[in-house]
Structure 1
Amino acid sequence: MTKGYLILNTGDVLEGTWIGSETYTEGEVVFNTSMTGYQEMITDPSYAGQIVTLCYPLVGNYGMNSWDNESKQPACKGVIVGEACEAPSNGKMETGFSDQLLKWDIPGLANVNTRKLVSLIRKHQTLKGKITTDPHATPEFPTPLYAPGQLVEQVAVKKPVSYLGKGKHVVLLDFGYKASILKDLLKQNLRVTVVPYHTSTMEIAAMKPDGILISNGPGDPEDHVMHFPKIKELTDQYPVLGICLGHQLIAMSYGAASKKMAYGHRGGNHPILDHETGKVWITSQNHGYDIDPSSCKDSELHVRFTNINDGGIEGFYHPEKPVLSVQFHPEARPGPVDTAYIFDEFIEAMLCTGGKTSCQMQKA
């Protein structure tokens, strides 16, 4: 089998066996600690532009199928694994891990020392890498790797897409939404219209929504400063829920600032505290930026959730408007569904307000 190499901007070179598409690629190198859910991780649009390292030592043992994808076409640049199972066994599987990477035209490396790689990421924090067959290559990585907003433009819908339902109407402002978010809304019999992230408030108003959901997505939230006034206006007009990048954009539209994390939160076992109930929940997370707490001291938004491990902000609420944001993923997949009640609170806000902000959101 073909040997491949991951060459890092630190000069470190890790050897592996080539899997998937035999094309060279480069991107930011990140890692996810989840034990299951490799298909959902690879197809998560938030990984656009990144080479994803899967920490669990065996990947691919239950194969791949067509209904667990979080997007129609994965946007990650490559995949690094310790061992890729070439003889999967699962009644639902349709193809193997390596074969599916090839179909998606995504390159990858197996038999890589992922423990060493994760240690390097933790040591050097943000790392850039290139997957190649030449161990002596000296790649030059541009700074930044991608133009502002390029990754969101790549993964977001190009025109509105409607999904029928008999309940309240939700406009999903798409910065790179996961399919599981849409599925959870449709399970509640909501009517959903997915619109591009650059859709204007006038166009949204013409759709007569009862609530707005601002999605997750890839890249630096600061790239979307031009959308902050629109997002602030939406929170003045409708019940709003923000997830991951959507959470950051809501906070920044109220004056907060974001910061690049050392190596992000990516995994399915992140504990967060809900200050409203005093309960701790285990959450699924995937983000490389978060909100700087020092920038929120005079914000209209109040902290609702914090991270147990590092004390970071995991969510806000507005005391007088039906506005809620969460840094974690309540839809999970992969990961625990402890915080699925976030969708219930969003629906309750729409029912309480009738799609307006004149009524203060009733706490559950």
Structure 2
Amino acid sequence: MKAVLGLEDGTTLKGKGIGAEGATQGELVFATPFIGYEEALTDPSYKGQILMFTYPLIGNYGISHEVMQSDNIKAEGLVVRSACSNPSHKKSDESLEEFLLEHDVSGIEGIDTRMLTIKIREHGTMKSALLVGDKNEKRAVELAKNQPDITERDLIPKVSCEKGYRIKGEGPRIVVIDTGVKRNILKSLEERGADLLVLPHDSTTSEIKKHDPDALFVGNGPGDPSRAVGPIRAVKNFFGEIPIFGICLGHQIISRALGGNTYKLKFGHRGANQPVRDIESGKIYITSQNHGFATDPDSLDGTDLKITQTNANDNTVEAIKHESQGVFAVQYHPEAFPGPRDSIRMFFDQVVEKAGGNFA
């Protein structure tokens, strides 16, 4: 099946279509892990983005529904060098293309992903459009250009739960503000006994308070953190009353709520081997990351937020703390599945302990 990928700068690449026929738009981003494509495709943080893998062969172990991080594919489209049509794994439920078709998502294979990755590294992420079942290059470029920038899109409402729900536990009660939280974050808290109340992103202070939480948690999610009005308000209102924790977008939301600022990275961090340096101990954690925005370190001056970890590659902020008020947030994904898991105990044990639980 014919397909074409168009970029806002006029670049077009023709390839073979996989998945559903149709047209899709999004910010083209690249991710570097060799494995974990099921988790990435279903990660709500990729809403609004067309996901390209740098590893040349994707789909070789099929799709296992048990590792999905949400109930469906959240990426707007998929770009790969080669999509395996004959996967082999005992836990495979279906092939990559069957998965795309099941969720009405378009993809393209057989194009030069190395060239595209270099282009994005040099010029930054780009607006793009993918046509499957159509090879109209002019239309693809027009669709790429004529879409709002990801900083102008309200994506959190598209991935947040509509109604709150509970995951019962015997430990501290933690309210999770759902900005697109991954299943493995909830699982990591549940395994440590936390009593979880997952609430919509726009929950009011009174709606949160009626659950009498021991702590507030803000997870990952898509888009510009400056547009997360409800979660920012919640962090401001509960700061100083209960401990507050965050991962990825949640880290950025907490930074903004407590006086800091954020900015858009040139091409983001999306991969499974990002080194994070703990400033106090000097220890290096190898982490999984997926973010296009970061906390501005200079903006934290005078906020009482302390930078505790930085990225060993580019020195961007990776963790913040407010010791006296029980705030702790990380930019990376300690819950990452399939890994690495260097930081899972370091982070989640602290969260449950500070919330008042016993995770041992």
Which residue does 1:360 correspond to in 2?
A: none
Q: CA deviation at 1:228?
A: 2.8
Which residue does 2:127 correspond to in 1?
A: 128
For 1:86, the aligned partner's letter is S
CA contact (8 A) 1:173 1:215 kept: yes
Q: 1:311 aligns with which of 311, 315, 328?
A: 315
Per-residue Cα deviation, 1:24-59 (whole angstroms, up to 9, x for no partner): 111100000011000000000000010000111111
Per-residue Cα deviation, 1:4-34 (whole angstroms, up to 9, x for no partner): 1111111111121100011111110000001
Gapped regions of structure 2 (runs ≥ 5): none
Q: Are 1:167 and 2:171 counterparts?
A: yes
Which residue does 1:144 correspond to in 2?
A: 148
CA contact (8 A) 2:218 2:231 kept: no
CA contact (8 A) 2:201 2:230 kept: no
Q: Are 1:10 and 2:9 counterparts?
A: yes
Which residue does 2:36 correspond to in 1?
A: 37
Per-residue Cα deviation, 1:202-239 (whole angstroms, up to 9, x for no partner): 21111011111101100001112464343122221111
CA distance in 1, matches of 2:195, 2:229: 29
Residues 180/226 of structure 1: CA separation in 2 closer, same or farther (3 Å cut): closer
Matched pairs, number: 352
Q: CA deviation at 1:63?
A: 0.4
Q: CA deviation at 1:150?
A: 2.5
Per-residue Cα deviation, 1:234-287 (whole angstroms, up to 9, x for no partner): 221111111101000111111111111000000000001112322110011000
CA distance in 1, matches of 2:150, 2:300: 28
CA contact (8 A) 2:189 2:352 kept: no
For 1:131, the aligned partner's letter is L
Q: Are 1:288 and 2:287 counterparts?
A: no
Per-residue Cα deviation, 1:83-113 (whole angstroms, up to 9, x for no partner): 1111101111110001110101000001121
Per-residue Cα deviation, 1:92-150 (whole angstroms, up to 9, x for no partner): 11100011101010000011211011011112102011112222324143463468562
Query: How do 1:261-300 and structure 2 match up within 5 A?
Result: 261-300=265-304
Q: Are 1:108 and 2:145 counterparts?
A: no
Query: TM-score, length-normalised on structure 1?
Result: 0.93
Per-residue Cα deviation, 1:131-182 (whole angstroms, up to 9, x for no partner): 1222232414346346856210000001111111112111111111011101
Which residue does 2:351 correspond to in 1?
A: 346
Which residue does 1:195 correspond to in 2?
A: 199
- Give the alignment's Cα RMSD to 1 decimal: 1.6
Deviates more, 1:218-227 or 1:327-336: 218-227
Which residue does 1:236 correspond to in 2?
A: 240
Query: TM-score, length-normalised on structure 2?
Result: 0.94
